[in-house]
Amino acid sequence: MKIGIVCYPVKGGSGVVASELGLALSAIGVEVHFFSYALPFRLTGFDEKFIFHQVEVSDYPLFQHSPYTLTLATRLADESRRVGLDIIHAHYAIPHAVSGYIAKQILGGRLPKLITTLHGTDITLVGLDPSFFAVTKFSMEVSDALTTVSRYIYDKTYESFGITKPIKVIHNFVDNERFKPSQKGCDRSIFARPDEKIIMHMSNYRPVKNATDVVRVFKMINDQISSRLVLIGDGPDAPNVLRLADKLGLKDRTLFLGGQDTVETILCKADLFLLPSASEAFGLAALEALASGVPVVGSIVGGLPELVKDGEVGYLAPIADVETMASRSLEILSNPDLHRKMAENARKLTVEKFDTKAVVKQYYDFYEEVLARD
């Protein structure tokens, strides 16, 4: 099987899922081609396991905005013809599914099949914008098959776009061998004293992540139990987060690590992970924390309850209810038996339900099913 994976290269869940999927498919013998305007961030340099096709971003003087959708479509058509791709798997509808459709039209044949995975803001935010709505709906209708990363996005897609074709839910996944509680590099003394707790957050700091609420919750935790806040990732709200930490007198307790590649050696040092998002299709960062044996406290939003089982692996509270998030966090942090139980449950959950091998098999079987269709 030859597959072309189209994704965003920047730090964000859809790019991570697409990259990890490609690597896992390659490990089971699939020929994997990645298409993007830069190397997706979880893929490091040249690797025999896949071929990366860098798509041109044209700077022709006539274009004030580069027509990336078209250069991507051209590249997909050219490479499909050259290597004989069976499937174009578009991650995030806009514009990847549209480019895949144009490439198929250029080729005019039965193959490649176009499979689109809807990741979240393509359905809940960007796709609903009137300037994108019709093209997002169209991109779903012309895809040969659709998948969503959660049951929540499945429901939202039908509800918001009124499409009628079947959608398959394939949850996001995590490499439980890489993300695990104790491993080399998990010594926590670099971040905190033995009597202090380590609270973590990881995101792209877009407004939907409500990252300033992380600091508000942390303040209430630290007032009761001496703690350190470790922030991973970067994005537009990061300066606001740091400003608030400073304003609340938490500057010396806050460590901003910025974008990191090997997050598995950082997450495993945490006692608690916070994800107070206003919108979350799935919450891949929370899944990586759970696999690392770290309980999660976050908001009751989107697909998060599909992985953060309330009371079992952490707690969820209404969006922006920082008081409840803080009291739930303190409940976990001040009760070693509860913390241990939640950490064990978290690990059990990610191994049994969200492991890379099992979920990638679901994708592979789905590819075969779609290829067998007329």
- Told to check if 14 binds ligand GMT by CB under 6 A, we report yes
Helix (H) or strand (E) holding 153: helix 151-161
- Told to check if 284 binds ligand GMT by CB under 6 A, we report yes
Which ranges of 181-283 would DSSP assign to H, the alpha helix? 211-224, 238-247, 264-267
Nearer to ligand GMT among residue 119 and residue 347 (C-beta): 119
| Min dist. Cβ of residue 305 to ligand GMT (A) | 12
- Told to check if 172 binds ligand GMT by CB under 6 A, we report yes
Strand-pairing partners, residue 32, are: 3
Give the whole-angstrom CA distance, residue 288 versus residue 307: 11
| Min dist. Cβ of residue 17 to ligand GMT (A) | 5
| Min dist. Cβ of residue 82 to ligand GMT (A) | 29
- Told to check if 210 binds ligand GMT by CB under 6 A, we report no
**CA 220 remoteness from chain centre:** 28
Cβ contact 240:212 at 8 Å: yes
Using alpha carbons only, give the angle 76, 280, 357 rounded to the nearest 5 degrees.
Answer: 60
Which one, of 189, 147, 151, lies nearest residue 165 by Cα? 147
- Told to check if 204 binds ligand GMT by CB under 6 A, we report yes
- Told to check if 36 binds ligand GMT by CB under 6 A, we report no
- Told to check if 201 binds ligand GMT by CB under 6 A, we report no
Residues numbered 143-162 forming contacts with ligand GMT, rule: CB under 6 A: 149
- Told to check if 53 binds ligand GMT by CB under 6 A, we report no
- Told to check if 119 binds ligand GMT by CB under 6 A, we report yes
Give the whole-angstrom CA distance, residue 228 versus residue 363: 39
Nearer to ligand GMT among residue 14 and residue 299 (C-beta): 14
Establish whether the linkage from the previous residue to 239 is cis, with ω within 30° of 0: no
Per CB under 6 A, the list member of 52, 92, 173, 354 interacting with ligand GMT is 92
| Min dist. Cβ of residue 191 to ligand GMT (A) | 24
Judged by CB under 6 A, the stretch of 19-27, 55-63, 280-288, 329-337 that binds ligand GMT is: 280-288
Neighbours of 272 (CB within 10 A): 26
Per CB under 6 A, the list member of 17, 32, 241, 289 interacting with ligand GMT is 17
Which one, of 222, 195, 211, 220, lies nearest residue 244 by Cα? 211
Give the whole-angstrom CA distance, residue 238 versus residue 212: 8
- Told to check if 174 binds ligand GMT by CB under 6 A, we report no
Interaction site with ligand GMT (CB under 6 A): 12-15, 17, 92, 119-121, 149, 172, 204, 206, 208, 279-284
